[in-house]
Amino acid sequence: MRLLLVEDYRPLNQSLTKGLNEAGFAVDSTRDGKEGLWYAMSNEYDVIILDIMLPGMDGLEILKKIRSRGKKSHVLILTAKDTLEDRVAGLDLGADDYLVKPFAFEELVARVRALLRRSYGEKNPCVRVRDLKIDLNTKRVWRGREEITLTPREYALLEYLAMRAGQTISRTDIWEHIYEFRSSASSNVVDVYIGYLRRKLDRSNKPDLIRTVRGLGYRLGAGS
Amino acid sequence: MKRSLRRRLLAGIIGGILLLLAVFSLLVYVVIRGALLRQFDESLASVAQVLAASVELDGNDVELEFEARQMPEFQDVERPTRYQFWDANGAVVAKSPLSSTQELRRPETTLKNLVFQTSRDESGQPQRSVGLKFAPRIADSDETQQGRQKDEELFTLVVARDASDLHSQLGLLRWLLVNASAAVVILSLIFAAVVVRQGLHPLNSIAAEIAAISEENLATRIASENVPAEVIPIKNRLNELLCRLEASFKKERRFNADIAHELRTPLAGIRSTIEVALARNRDPVEYRQALEDCLEIAGSMQAVVGNLLMLTRLEARQISLETDRIRLAGFIDSAWQPFSDKAMDRNITFDNRIEPDVTFESDRANLGTVLSNVLCNAVEYVDDSGRIWVTARSADDSIEIAVSNTGCHLTSEQVSQVFDCFWRVDSSRSDTGAHCGLGLALVQRLVGALGGRAAAVTEPGGIFSIRLILPASP
């Protein structure tokens, strides 16, 4: 899942980027408001984590702009302002969640996960596709009773496919949601990772889970 | 004045009424008593005149006309009227039948002169007497001895009448006056108490309204409609006071919110740095990096707290000043030292244009803090490859130090805000939060404490200057 972090306070920006990366998200981060707006407008982010007091452009201004241009990304406001008016103003402008500094990193991650589930219409943190089970919180995967160990990148790919289970997803789409902006990887790596995933998930006595839809992309689970 | 207003008003009203009543009653008593006495005396005098006229001198015999002796006054046993005559030699010539046992006193008087006296008779009853000297009529002559008045031929007459009626009348009058006064005082006390309570009611209602105002609802004002004219100024002043109180509470709340905000962001930085570092096993370099980041944040938080503490002390006027002669040029150079590396990195030119012989007297430590903050601000906001320069101008009793930098984009409204606490150009902070918008606020207050003032000005060409006008010697 791909996130954008717009936070001007350097230590916070650095540690959050690192922590979110390690939590399996593809993270683009910036410390400038205008740059943040550019990122938000030119990419498809699952969640945007937005500070309010920013140099260049105010966080609420960014929020207003991306909503007015029809961007559907979920926005989590991260700020030291905690008055009722501030919170209401943020939520009224189209923010989906609000977290007051200082916060526990785990809570931030949990809220991001909740927003992700919401964006894919998935309320249950435990996703099932046929006999495949994915625990979105602990990031553990089972096929039947057997637990399968995945690398963070493999897991991120499977999670994205599972969130949109039954839909055909293009390579570019997958690539956009799994890799951060600065990544040197091209969409071809998607094929490579799909190969890795198949090797780990498929069992000879069970039907294949990931199907290749020629010319369009990939699909996990149901649908013919 | 601790005494209650109600008691003072009551005491004033009752005291006034009491005094007026006393004076009035006394006046009434004196006038009525005078009138009664005069009436009594006139009647006594007329009896005396009649008696005197009824005395006839026949040779050496003294005769009293019968009619006079038969006058009803002399017959009344209960309230007897008595008389007694003395001849010129002091011998009793005649006395009334009822005054058998008592001798009346012979008064010293002169012809035609009536002498009134109050005394008591043998039974202790009050009586009033009139004494006079007269020349008795000569028998068979209608003339009195007017023509030949000689002291040795003048008779003395005293007529005394029981005065207990008069005294009891006067006693009744006294009783009436005292009791009526007492009743008036008691009634007016009750009445005044009610009036005073009614009169003071607006004060109580205002007091109740004030009592209902707490820290949370300082926006309320004393409404009290229909307050008396005298209370309106009090009400208005109280409302003004509430206005000021509300403003200062608002300011304080804002300040506290700002402090909380300024401390929350670095705290969030520390927390997430630590949490992320602890999320998994890392190599020592990463731990070291995390610790260094936290240390840096802690350092900047310490600076914020230090500035806040200094601001608080300045507001409470708790700083001590030690005057010292300062050589300005060298002082500026040493204040610049901590910033020179950073300036070099950004290719900033620093120019100290102060003449080496400029000296003045001020507090070295506090002036150092002022200059350090002003220079820090200049380094922070100067454009890359820009210039910072310091000039000074001496007047008779003051010195003006100006720290200027290029690359300023502030509007005039923003310039007017630079000395506000927590104000920053774009409400955002720099790298680590070391510049949280307290520096110039501190400068302004410190310069004030040093007896001078600070001003911010912009000039065409993006030049921003902080001017410090300080007394040449405090």
Name every chain B residue with its beta carbon within 8 A of the beta carbon of A22.
276, 279-280
Name every chain B residue with its beta carbon within 8 A of the beta carbon of A80.
260-262, 264-265, 268
CA-based nearest residue to B422, from B266, B250, B304:
B304
pLDDT of amino acid B99: 57
Q: Do domains A2-119 and A126-220 have the same CATH topology?
A: no
Greater model confidence, B124 or B184: B184
Greater model confidence, B25 or B2: B25
**A-side interface with B, Cβ within 8 Å?**
8-12, 14-16, 18-19, 22-23, 53-56, 58, 80-83, 100-106, 108
Token output for B405:
């930098």
Per-residue model confidence as pLDDT tens digits over B30-42: 999 999 999 999 9
Distance separating alpha carbons of residues B220 and B235, to the nearest angstrom: 13
pLDDT band of A72, cuts 50, 70, 90: confident
A55 closest CB neighbour out of B261, B297, B426: B426
Residue B198 scores a pLDDT above 60: yes
pLDDT of amino acid B431: 47
User: What stretch(es) of chain B map to CATH 1.10.287?
Assistant: 253-315
Lowest mean pLDDT among A10-14, B88-92, B367-371: B88-92
The residues, ordered by sequence, that sit 6+ positions from A164 with a Cβ below 8 Å of its Cβ are A120, A220
Token output for B341:
């590396």
pLDDT of amino acid B432: 46
What DSSP string describes B380-444?
A: HHSPTT-EEEEEEEE-SSEEEEEEEES-----HHHHTTTTSTT--TTS---SSSS--S-HHHHHH
pLDDT of amino acid A107: 93
Tell me the CA end-to-end span of chain B in Å, nearest whole number: 42
Mean pLDDT, range B175-179, rounded to an integer: 93
Length of chain A: 224
Mean pLDDT, range B451-462, rounded to an integer: 88
Name every chain B residue with its beta carbon within 8 A of the beta carbon of A59.
none
Per-residue model confidence as pLDDT tens digits over B436-445: 677 888 888 8
Task: Quote the minimal CA–CA distance from B273 to chain A in Å.
Answer: 5
B276 closest CB neighbour out of A8, A15, A100: A15
Name every chain B residue with its beta carbon within 8 A of the beta carbon of A23.
279
CATH 3.40.47.40 fits B323-471, yes or no: no
Residue B102 scores a pLDDT above 70: no
pLDDT of amino acid B132: 86
Cβ contact, residue pair B427, A105, below 8 Å: no
Tell me the CA distances in angstroms from B249 to A158, B147, B317, one per residue in order: 56, 108, 20
pLDDT band of B98, cuts 50, 70, 90: low
Residue B179 scores a pLDDT above 90: yes
**Sequence ranges of the domains in chain A:** 2-119, 126-220
Per-residue model confidence as pLDDT tens digits over B239-295: 899 899 888 888 888 788 778 777 888 899 999 999 999 988 999 999 999 999 899
pLDDT band of B429, cuts 50, 70, 90: very low
A102-123 residues labelled b (16+ CB within 10 A) or e (exposed): bbebeebbebbbbbbbebbebe
pLDDT of amino acid B430: 47
Per-residue model confidence as pLDDT tens digits over B201-222: 888 888 888 888 887 888 888 7
CATH hierarchy code of domain A2-119: 3.40.50.2300
pLDDT of amino acid B462: 86
Taking only residues 418 to 447 of chain B, the set having a beta carbon closer than 8 angstroms to any beta carbon of chain A reads: 426-429, 431-433
CATH hierarchy code of domain B5-170: 3.30.450
Q: Does B317 touch chain A (CB under 8 A)?
A: no
CA-based nearest residue to A166, from A216, A209, A200:
A209
Cβ contact, residue pair B265, A106, below 8 Å: no
CA-based nearest residue to B134, from B113, B116, B115, B117:
B113
A9 closest CB neighbour out of B275, B277, B433: B433
Per-residue model confidence as pLDDT tens digits over B307-337: 888 888 887 777 788 888 889 899 999 999 9
Which chain A residue lies closest to B433 (C-alpha atoms)?
A: A9
B265 closest CB neighbour out of A15, A23, A80: A80
Per-residue model confidence as pLDDT tens digits over A109-154: 999 989 988 888 777 888 888 888 998 888 889 988 889 898 888 8
Q: Residue type for B91, please? A: A
- How much is the mean pLDDT over chain B? 83
The residues, ordered by sequence, that sit 6+ positions from A188 with a Cβ below 8 Å of its Cβ are A171
> How many Cβ contacts (< 8 angstroms) between chains A and B?
88
Name every chain B residue with its beta carbon within 8 A of the beta carbon of A82.
260
Task: Quote the minimal CA–CA distance from B263 to chain A in Å.
Answer: 9
pLDDT of amino acid B149: 55
pLDDT of amino acid B380: 85
Phi and psi based region of residue B358 (left: phi greater than 0; alpha: psi -120 to 50; beta: remaining): beta
Per-residue model confidence as pLDDT tens digits over A152-180: 888 888 988 888 888 888 888 888 888 77
A10 closest CB neighbour out of B268, B270, B431: B431
Q: Can you tell me whether residue B92 is helix, strand or coil? A: strand
Cβ contact, residue pair A15, B426, below 8 Å: no
Q: Can you tell me whether residue B374 is helix, strand or coil? A: helix
- How much is the mean pLDDT over chain A? 86
pLDDT of amino acid A184: 67
ipTM over 0.85: no
pLDDT of amino acid A105: 93
User: What stretch(es) of chain B map to CATH 3.30.565.10?
Assistant: 323-471
- For domain B253-315, give the fold: Helix Hairpins (1.10.287)
- For domain A126-220, give the fold: Arc Repressor Mutant, subunit A (1.10.10)
Cβ contact, residue pair B276, A18, below 8 Å: yes
Q: Can you tell me whether residue A140 is helix, strand or coil? A: strand
pLDDT band of B69, cuts 50, 70, 90: low
Pairing of strands A26-30, B387-394: unpaired
pLDDT of amino acid A224: 44
Task: Quote the minimal CA–CA distance from B427 to chain A in Å.
Answer: 6
Q: Does B269 touch chain A (CB under 8 A)?
A: yes
